[in-house]
Amino acid sequence: MAHPSLGLGQFLFHRIRTQLSRHYTVVLWDPRGVGDNEEFYPTLDDWVGDAIDILRQTNKPAHLLGVSLGSWVMSRVATLNPDALVRSLILIGASRGFDHAEEDIQSRRHQLENMTMQEFAHNYAETTLSTYALSEVKENLVLEMGQVDKEKYLQAMQAFYTARNDEVFRQVNVPTLIMVGVEDARTPAAEADEVQHLIRGSEVKVLPRCQHLAVLDQPQRVIHECEYFWTHGRMADD
């Protein structure tokens, strides 16, 4: 089960879904405020509750994967672990929270007052994907994020950016792998190390040629790391 980041839906996983589906049942969905569920207003509690509802409906032991703010959702699902269905947790681009959340939200709100979501999405793609990302991936990211409603995007940002994850991470009690792109400026490797210190027994894998959205930058590497971890219960040595 995979949960995307702010302003993105299941599109985020389109480069890993097909290959993983050969050996696993892959469960993806658009979170509230995005894509198929754009009519709903998003909150952190709702995003967590929806993931738990889907987990229970699927009713199979599940590996959880969360990217960026999606890692905040999936770590909370792992701590609750309804019906003991959660087998493991993978976090990509995770963080403990933001020290200047309100300032960041106000800055983003001001930014969006002076540009369209399409323009914002273009800037986001340029600063969040690595130079190794395919041009068509960047174009599709802009297309997907450009359709998101501004106010719903900002509401989700408000709900997430003001939350803290330190205590949540301390309560995680399933095997956990933390991945971070070596070029990630949003949640750098030092932040991944801080998350690792909070989650007992977790490991950190630094991915080469990746920025913040490794599933789009280097999907084959992410697939390899996921499958190895799910098979062996630890990160790959290479």
Helix axes 135-146, 117-128, angle to 10 degrees: 140
Evaluate whether residue 213 is within a structural domain: yes
161-187: pLDDT as tens digits: 889 999 999 999 999 999 999 999 999
Reported pTM:
0.95
Evaluate whether residue 111 is within a structural domain: yes
| pLDDT confidence tier of residue 101, bands split at 50, 70 and 90 | confident
71-91: pLDDT as tens digits: 999 999 999 999 999 999 999
Contact at 8 Å (CB) between 68 and 91?
no
Domain holding 182, by residue range, is 2-232
Evaluate whether residue 147 is within a structural domain: yes
CATH of the domain at 29: 3.40.50.1820
Residue 123 backbone phi and psi in degrees, to 5: -65, -40
42-61: pLDDT as tens digits: 899 999 999 999 999 999 99
What's the rounded Cα separation, in Å, for the pair 183 and 87? 29
Evaluate whether residue 178 is within a structural domain: yes
Evaluate whether residue 238 is within a structural domain: no
User: In total, how many domains does the chain have?
Assistant: 1
* Average pLDDT estimate for 121-139: 94
Q: Which carries the bigger pLDDT value, residue 218 or residue 100?
A: 218
Evaluate whether residue 237 is within a structural domain: no
| pLDDT confidence tier of residue 237, bands split at 50, 70 and 90 | confident
Which DSSP helix (H) or strand (E) runs through 35?
Answer: none
